[in-house]
């Protein structure tokens, strides 16, 4: 069977599975639509949370980012997994004890204010909408490459699949679909890694293969990669940093608290029966996530090595990389190269007109290397590789069987669609439950609210699809920015709501607005006002990363500090918290004995 036919078969079977589960798990009540009936087993919820969490960024982009950032890419591993520890310890059991449907539900009751609800909904919508752009863009990339359709057609097909299981199933349909999607994506990630680890090191366990000896040499895998990237003018793989150590630390913290503040992940812990189950499901989620996240460093390093070895035949053997015959002829390029060229994510420009591909760092600070490159007739790097293709192209580069390549295609789509569904539910519940039912249409019947939720979900899918087909120029950085927005607005307010009996509504509202606006100001200074190119204004403050060298993607942690500071300052200047609210907070902080999750107040 041809590669394309195999891909159609495997992806088609997974889509049929998702739709079948959606019809089996249709939501018949608002409780099933918002929290899956509140009876999901902790292990199942942990698996669904893993799929909800492991987005296109985790599956498609993360290994590519680590592959090109090297050691500094570890901040994604530490930030995104560390956030789950915070979530399990500091938020999940207490929010489950509180027993509502959504995050704005918590804000409405804890901060006794409709204004607090509106601000929470705004923060939720801004973070979720920013995040979903990356998911729909990922769907378009995966479809355009593997199904041979345009990016726009790919997004429309993705919208249709999500529509079926999210609109009809709500949280109930999404939960059980995400369990299936987790199984698909984790197999798709680990099976190629096992094959490639065995090829390169003789060890089939990728986590151990990364530290094993490179096949055919006495060098360790990472030592070999260091030699290869050095020979081609790149920085040392095992010591590279993104900026300075302060930026790396702040970036990691921003990802951690952003993880703990993402609304589509938090609402998963309202679906379990008891407080104990919320903590347990967070632990299981961490186990399921760790399977992928401990594999990612090996996938990143091995993909980087294989790519260089495909383009320059001398790197594996330790030969002369500058020899003419070492650079692969463009006309003899492998089939996977041709397939990815069509997507525009892999581009070649023959700068010295020799018909061969020179892939190296032409901006290297190593003068000796640049002199050697010039002497060899190299006139600049000729290959542009988008980081996002590394995981998807990895099995093709390694010449793995067609069924493995097809499985990776299905895994990439499962990762993007599962997270998109969770985000869409968070967005639709914010509109139908938090705004309509709780504020503007308080006499809305349960049937009416369920219909409103489905209409809001359908509208959100259409909006997400439009953004996926017309992504802003900043699409590659949207995920990190979404974490920054959640870190600077939602996480601090949740922490103060749970652990401070004295935090009043004025302080919480002022803190959320200050954190969100400060972070957006810093991001817009670098990316343009509302991401419109040409409207950047960082030059007014002395240049890029003007705040102690901190990048805009890392600024969420600074926004969180501003949130806390403003909240406590305003709290001290305004009326104290009513006594019944302080008593409620005291009760919530004892995570024993919670009733069912309800939408009422």
- CA 469, CA 489: separation in Å to the nearest integer? 28
Q: What are phi and psi of 213, to 5 degrees?
A: -80, 140
Decide if 209 is inside a domain: yes
Structure tokens at 95: 């929010």
**Any idea what the CATH number is for the domain that residue 148 is in?**
1.20.1730.10
Q: Kindly report the three-state secondary structure assignment for every residue of 94-105.
A: HHHHHCCCCHHH
> pLDDT of 546-556, one tens digit each?
888 898 888 99
Within-domain flag for 368? no
Helix, strand or coil, per DSSP, at residue 546: coil
Q: How many domains does the chain contain in total?
A: 1
Structure tokens at 166: 């999210």
348 in a domain, yes or no? no
151 in helix, strand or coil? helix
Which pLDDT does position 101 carry in this prediction? 59
Tokens, residue 226: 């260091």
Residue 30 pLDDT level (bands cut at 50, 70, 90): low
Q: pLDDT digits over 38-78, tens only?
A: 567 788 888 888 887 777 777 877 888 888 888 888 888 88
| Low-confidence winner among 291-295, 380-384, 466-470 (lowest mean pLDDT) | 466-470
Question: Which of these, 507, 121, 65, lies nearest to 297 by C-alpha position?
Answer: 65
Distance CA 171, CA 507 (A): 32
Q: Could you tell me if residue 569 is inside a domain?
A: no
Residue 228 maps to a domain: yes
Could you read off the pLDDT of 405-436 as tens digits, one per residue? Answer: 888 888 888 887 777 777 787 787 777 777 77
User: Could you tell me which of 211, 209, 216, 213 has the C-alpha nearest to residue 195?
Assistant: 209
Res. 102: pLDDT tops 50:
yes
Q: Percent of the chain scored above 90 by pLDDT? A: 21
The structure tokens listed for 316 are: 């594996």
- What mean pLDDT is predicted for residues 525-530? 81
Asked whether residue 160 is domain-assigned, the answer is yes
Closest CA to 306 of 341, 339, 334, 325: 334
**Rounded average pLDDT over 102-107:** 79
Global pTM?
0.82
Give domain status of residue 563, yes or no.
Answer: no
Q: Return the closest-CA partner of residue 388 out of 141, 156, 146, 154.
A: 141
Query: Residue 81 sits in which domain range?
Result: 3-306+392-471
Residue 366 placed within a domain: no
- Measured CA to CA, the distance from residue 523 to residue 541 in angstroms comes to 13
Q: What is the largest CA-CA distance in the chain?
A: 80
pLDDT score of 599: 53
């Amino acid at each position: 069977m041809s590669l394309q036919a195999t891909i159609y078969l495997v992806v088609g079977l997974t889509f049929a599975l998702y739709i079948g589960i959606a019809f089996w798990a249709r939501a018949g009540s608002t409780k099933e639509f918002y929290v899956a009936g509140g009876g999901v087993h902790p292990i199942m919820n942990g698996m669904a949370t893993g799929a909800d969490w492991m987005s296109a960024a985790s599956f498609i982009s993360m290994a590519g980012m680590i592959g090109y950032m090297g050691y500094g890419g570890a901040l994604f591993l530490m930030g995104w997994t560390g956030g789950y520890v915070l979530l399990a310890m500091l938020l999940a059991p207490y929010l489950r004890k509180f027993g509502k449907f959504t995050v704005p539900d918590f804000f409405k009751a804890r901060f006794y204010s409709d204004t607090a609800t509106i601000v929470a909904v705004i923060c939720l919508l801004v973070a979720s909408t920013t995040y979903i752009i990356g998911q729909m863009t990922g769907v378009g990339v995966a479809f355009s490459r593997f199904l041979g359709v345009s990016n726009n057609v790919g997004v429309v097909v993705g919208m249709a699949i999500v529509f079926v299981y999210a609109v009809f199933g709500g949280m109930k349909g999404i939960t059980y679909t995400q369990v299936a999607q987790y199984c698909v994506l984790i197999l798709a990630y680990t099976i190629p890694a096992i094959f490639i680890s065995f090829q390169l090191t003789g060890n089939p366990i990728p986590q151990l293969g990364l530290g094993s000896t490179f096949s055919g040499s006495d060098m360790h895998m990472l030592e070999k990669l260091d030699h290869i990237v050095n020979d081609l003018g790149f920085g040392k793989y095992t010591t590279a940093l993104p900026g300075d150590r302060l930026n790396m630390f702040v970036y990691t913290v921003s990802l951690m608290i952003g993880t703990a503040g993402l609304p589509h992940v938090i609402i998963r812990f309202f679906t379990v029966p008891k407080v104990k189950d919320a903590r347990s499901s967070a632990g299981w989620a961490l186990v399921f996530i760790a399977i992928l996240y401990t594999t990612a460093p090996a996938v990143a390093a091995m993909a980087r090595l294989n790519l260089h070895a495909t383009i320059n035949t001398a790197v594996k053997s330790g030969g002369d990389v500058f020899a003419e015959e070492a650079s692969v002829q463009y006309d003899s390029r492998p089939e996977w190269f041709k397939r990815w060229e069509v997507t525009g994510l892999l581009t070649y420009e023959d700068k010295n007109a020799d018909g061969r591909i020179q892939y190296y760092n032409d901006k290297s600070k190593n003068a000796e290397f640049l002199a050697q490159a010039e002497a060899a007739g190299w006139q600049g790097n000729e290959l542009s590789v988008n980081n996002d293709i590394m995981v998807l192209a990895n099995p093709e580069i390694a010449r793995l069987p067609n069924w493995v390549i097809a499985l990776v295609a299905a895994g990439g789509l499962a990762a993007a669609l599962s997270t998109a569904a969770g985000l869409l539910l968070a967005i639709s519940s914010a509109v139908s439950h938090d705004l309509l039912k709780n504020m503007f249409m308080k006499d809305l019947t349960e049937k009416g609210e369920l219909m409103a939720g489905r209409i809001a979900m359908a509208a959100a899918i259409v909006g997400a699809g439009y953004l996926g087909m017309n992504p802003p120029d900043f699409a590659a950085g949207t995920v990190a920015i979404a974490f920054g927005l959640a870190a600077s607005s939602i996480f601090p307010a949740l922490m103060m709501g749970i652990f401070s009996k004295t935090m009043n509504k004025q302080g919480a509202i002022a803190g959320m607005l200050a954190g969100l606006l400060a972070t957006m100001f810093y991001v817009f200074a670098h990316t343009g006002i509302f991401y419109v190119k040409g409207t950047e204004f960082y030059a007014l403050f002395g240049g890029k990363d003007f705040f102690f060298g901190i990048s805009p993607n890392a600024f969420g942690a600074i926004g969180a500090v501003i949130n806390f500071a403003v909240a406590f300052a305003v709290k001290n200047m305004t009326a104290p918290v009513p006594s019944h609210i302080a008593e409620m907070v005291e009760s919530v902080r004892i995570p024993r004995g919670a009733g069912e999750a309800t939408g009422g107040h």
